[in-house]
């Protein structure tokens, strides 16, 4: 499902216009991104948790040259699915 299909499905399910559904989706993505940037978690009970996970600096190898390279520390977004979402996907 791409963004346009998601917006159409949200609009139909919530009985709102596609334009309104797109605004809500854009606002949701913006709020989650802003919260993660500040270091906060976004927890939706039953659905899942969005969080920013810190990755430590480490050494790696370039597979082509076998040269050792330094991989800098970084922060990456992560999502952990909640029980209700896992059950829906599993068909329970």
% the chain with pLDDT above 70: 100
Query: Using only C-alpha atoms, what is the Rg of the chain?
Result: 19
Give the pLDDT confidence of 42-54 residue by residue, as tens digits. Answer: 999 999 999 999 9
User: Residue 84: how many CB atoms within 10 A of its CB?
Assistant: 14
- Cα 8 to the chain's mean position, in Å? 20
- DSSP tag of 25: H
Asked if residue 23 has pLDDT above 90, the reply is yes
Please tell me whether residue 92 adopts helix, strand or coil conformation.
coil
């Amino acid at each position: 499902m791409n963004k346009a299909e998601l917006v159409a499905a949200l609009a139909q399910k919530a009985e709102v216009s596609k334009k309104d559904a797109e605004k809500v989706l854009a606002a949701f993505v913006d709020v989650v991104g802003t919260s993660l940037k500040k270091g906060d978690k976004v927890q939706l009970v039953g659905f899942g948790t969005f969080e920013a996970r810190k990755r430590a600096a480490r050494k790696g190898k370039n597979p082509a040259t076998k040269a050792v390279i330094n991989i800098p520390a970084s922060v990456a977004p992560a999502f952990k699915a909640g029980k209700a979402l896992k059950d829906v996907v599993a068909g329970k």
